[in-house]
Amino acid sequence: MSGVRVDGIVEKITDGDTVRVAALDRLFKIRLLGLDTEESNPNPSKPVTRWGKEASAFAAQILPVGSPVTIEFPGDEDVLVDGEINVRYLDNYQRPLAFLHLPRPVDGYTDFSELMIRKGYSPYFVKYGRAAFADHDARYARAEFNAQIDNIGVWNQFEANGAMIPEAAPRNYARLMVWWELRARVIDGFRAARAANPDLMLFNTRIDYDRLVEKAARGDTVTVFMELTKGATVSGLHHVIRSGSLAQPFQLFLPMEDRPEIAAIKRLLNNRYIAEGEDFPRRNYAYVTGALKLYNNRPEMVVRDVSQISDNPPLMPQVGAQGG
């Protein structure tokens, strides 16, 4: 299985995992699926590394400005909807998520992500889910496996970044891989639940945002699958957990956060779901069930009890959904 494909021309390499491609009379700043190279430009959350600069240089060598490429989007829906990029293909920063294919093989590979993984420039990045297509997933996993056998790139931090001991490496890939795998399995569960029960009132806060707005306008009760992030106190009384992007804001509203039942929800979220960056990983994703409403024209769900939060989708044995 493959996704919608569009031919384009490389305009600029931003980083080892980000490239600008001109196609469909516009410029796509593509975040390449399956990749998470080390940084070549300053980033508040990750350090610039020697290997990050090498990854960017290699990408520029393989994808010189002006070269033809094929963008593959991870689905079968139209790329443009009413003249704008289909929101289902955008990440939280409004960047298109896609694969990139070369016009001719490089060392036997035409899939750029597969090539980068095989060369050790990136692990197979599954933090936000495995590749949507089974063939891509299998190829990327095999490329990572072989790169690890060869002990190259990110898997050999002495050669990549001069780290004499694992603790001195810029990123702890041993810990990251375990965290990413946990997240990927949780996301796999969501995808499987949706595929097996297409009529289930189960929604993702990013890809189903427009439908959530509609259902919030009607006050429908649904289950959302969402990434939980650190919350904040509002009006000195309540607690809010925001998800999604500036363009697609969704939030959980916990009223009167000093009440025992709300304090219990906050403890659950902090101890089980909300990660404190790469150094303190947790499962991040949960299923939250409740009635939707619109707040400032944005969908919101009120959470009053721990029973509304679960590790598992509806119709499956629930972890935590019964409270106690």
The whole-number pLDDT of residue 36 equals 97
Residue-wise pLDDT for 230-274, tens only, equals 999 999 999 999 987 777 899 999 999 999 999 999 999 999 999
For residues 154 and 206, membership in a common domain is answered with no
For residues 132 and 254, membership in a common domain is answered with no
CA 196 to chain CA centroid, nearest Å: 22
| Mean pLDDT confidence for 142-164 | 96
| Mean pLDDT confidence for 156-160 | 95
Identify which of 62, 47, 171, 156 has the alpha carbon closest to the alpha carbon of residue 116.
62
Residue 261 lies in a domain: yes
| Mean pLDDT confidence for 203-229 | 94
For residues 157 and 219, membership in a common domain is answered with no
Residue 233 lies in a domain: yes
Q: What is the domain-level CATH number for residue 259?
A: 2.40.50.140
Task: With cut-offs at 50, 70 and 90, classify the pLDDT of residue 82.
Answer: very high
Which of 171, 200, 235 terminates a domain? The answer is 171
Residue 324 lies in a domain: no
Distance CA 126, CA 180 (A): 6
Residue 322 lies in a domain: no
For residues 191 and 166, membership in a common domain is answered with no
| Mean pLDDT confidence for 128-145 | 97
Question: What share of the chain in percent tops pLDDT 90?
Answer: 84
For residues 21 and 160, membership in a common domain is answered with yes
The whole-number pLDDT of residue 148 equals 98
| Mean pLDDT confidence for 63-83 | 97
Where would I find the beta strands (DSSP E) of the chain? Answer: 5-15, 18-23, 26-32, 68-72, 80-81, 84-85, 97-106, 109-111, 202-204, 221-227, 232-234, 238-244, 249-254, 285-295, 298-302, 309-310
| Mean pLDDT confidence for 272-284 | 90
For residues 161 and 242, membership in a common domain is answered with no
Residue 321 lies in a domain: no
For residues 72 and 165, membership in a common domain is answered with yes
What is the three-state SS of 47-102?
CECHHHHHHHHHHHHHCCCCCEEEEECCCCCCCEECCEECHHHECCCCCEEEEEEE
Per the structure, the complete domain to which residue 233 belongs is given by: 186-310
Task: With cut-offs at 50, 70 and 90, classify the pLDDT of residue 198.
Answer: confident
For residues 199 and 165, membership in a common domain is answered with no
For residues 206 and 124, membership in a common domain is answered with no
| Mean pLDDT confidence for 269-282 | 91
- Residues making up the chain, counted from first to last: 324
Which of 171, 197, 213 terminates a domain? The answer is 171
Find the range with the poorest average confidence among 117-121, 155-159, 180-184, 246-250.
246-250
As for how many domains the chain has, the answer is 2
For residues 108 and 215, membership in a common domain is answered with no
More confident position, 240 or 279 = 240
What mean pLDDT value characterizes the chain? Answer: 93
For residues 142 and 191, membership in a common domain is answered with no
Residue 315 lies in a domain: no
The whole-number pLDDT of residue 289 equals 96
| Mean pLDDT confidence for 32-52 | 93
Sorted by sequence, the CB contacts under 8 Å of residue 171 that are 6+ apart come out as 38, 46, 154, 278
The whole-number pLDDT of residue 323 equals 45
